[in-house]
Amino acid sequence: MAPAEPIEALYPSSVDPLLALTALQKGGALLVFTGVAAPVIGLLLKRVGGGWETMGGGPFAILNERLSQKGASPPTVDPAIQAAEVRQMLEAKSERRRQRGEEPLDVEAETERLLAAAERPRGEEAMDAELRAEVRQLVVVRNERRLREGLEPLDVEAETERQLADFIGSN
């Protein structure tokens, strides 16, 4: 049987201090590392690297298009071109229906319906109208409650405008 090697030969002397730490000391070292060293390393990597901000960038990146269009109004479309494209799309749809043996579309009526729907306010304008109507409805209900309580009624339009101004000003 070969003589056993001393334990000092298996572990270098640089490991001895780490093995000698108690559980409490190891926990303290872990807290110091996570509380101090890890945030410092993270900040250094963010300052030096900056990789995530440029990821996917380049001359052909879609991100560049989005940044250049931010805050810009959508391009205006010539109504004649829009009507011609809608009519062309509907004629193709009607032809496909006819080939399947279904009743073809009334292209002119459908064109008028779609173009009229496109002219209706949408987006921010529609939201503003809906918001104004909802605030006005709340003011009317508040007025009815004031009348039941014997209080003087409010001017509905003036109160609606005041509340909208308060709401918009709070952003």
| Residue 99, pLDDT score | 95
- Name which residue leads in pLDDT, 131 or 69: 131
Its pTM stands at 0.34
- DSSP states along the chain: -PPPPPHHHHS-TTTHHHHT--HHHHHHHHHHIIIIIHHHHHHHHHHHT-HHHHTT-STT-HHHHHHHHTTPPPPP--HHHHHHHHHHHHHHHHHHHHHTTSPPP-HHHHHHHHHHHHHS--THHHHHHHHHHHHHHHHHHHHHHHHHTTPPPP-HHHHHHHHHHHHHHT-
pLDDT band at 19 (very low <50, low <70, confident <90, very high): low
- Mean pLDDT for 159-171 is 76
| Residue 108, pLDDT score | 92
Residue 7 has pLDDT above 70, yes or no: no
